[in-house]
Structure 1
Amino acid sequence: MKKEQIKIKGTGVRCKSAEHSSYNQVPDAIFHYLELGLISGNELAIWIKLLQFDNDKYGYAYPNIEQLMLYCNLGNSTVIKGIDNLCRVGLLAKEKQQRLFKKNVYYVYQPLSKEQLYSQVSSKLVEKFTSNREDLYKKYQETYLYVIKEPEKNL
Structure 2
Amino acid sequence: MSDKAKALPFDATAGYTGIPNVILTHYQYFPKLNGNAVLVYAFLLKFYNADYGYAFPTQEQAARALAMSDSTYRNAVKTLVQAQLIQTVENGGGAKNLVYYFRKPIEDEAEFFRMFPEAAENKRKQDAIWSNIGAKRKARVV
TM, length-normalised to structure 1:
0.71
Q: Which runs of 4+ in 1 moved over 6 A?
A: none
Consecutive unaligned residues in structure 1, runs of 5 or more: 1-12, 150-155
Consecutive unaligned residues in structure 2, runs of 5 or more: 1-6
**Counterpart for residue 47 of structure 1:** 41
Cα RMSD (Å) of the superposition? 2.6
Distance in 2, Cα, partners of 1:106 & 1:86: 10
**Counterpart for residue 25 of structure 1:** 18
Larger radius of gyration: 1
Give the number of equivalent residue pairs. 133
TM, length-normalised to structure 2:
0.76
Task: State the Cα distance separating 1:61 from its structure 2 match.
Answer: 0.4
**Counterpart for residue 59 of structure 1:** 53
**Counterpart for residue 134 of structure 1:** 128
Amino acid at match of 1:121: F
Write the deviation string for residues 17-59 of structure 1: whole angstroms up to 9, x where unpaired.
Answer: 6x43122221121132222325122111111110111011111
Higher relative contact order, structure no. (Cα contacts within 8 Å, ≥ 6 residues apart): 2
Write the deviation string for residues 103-132 of structure 1: whole angstroms up to 9, x where unpaired.
Answer: 42111222112222111122x652342232
**Counterpart for residue 80 of structure 2:** 86
Distance in 1, Cα, partners of 2:112 & 2:38: 16
Task: State the Cα distance separating 1:89 from its structure 2 match.
Answer: 2.0
Distance in 2, Cα, partners of 1:68 & 1:101: 15
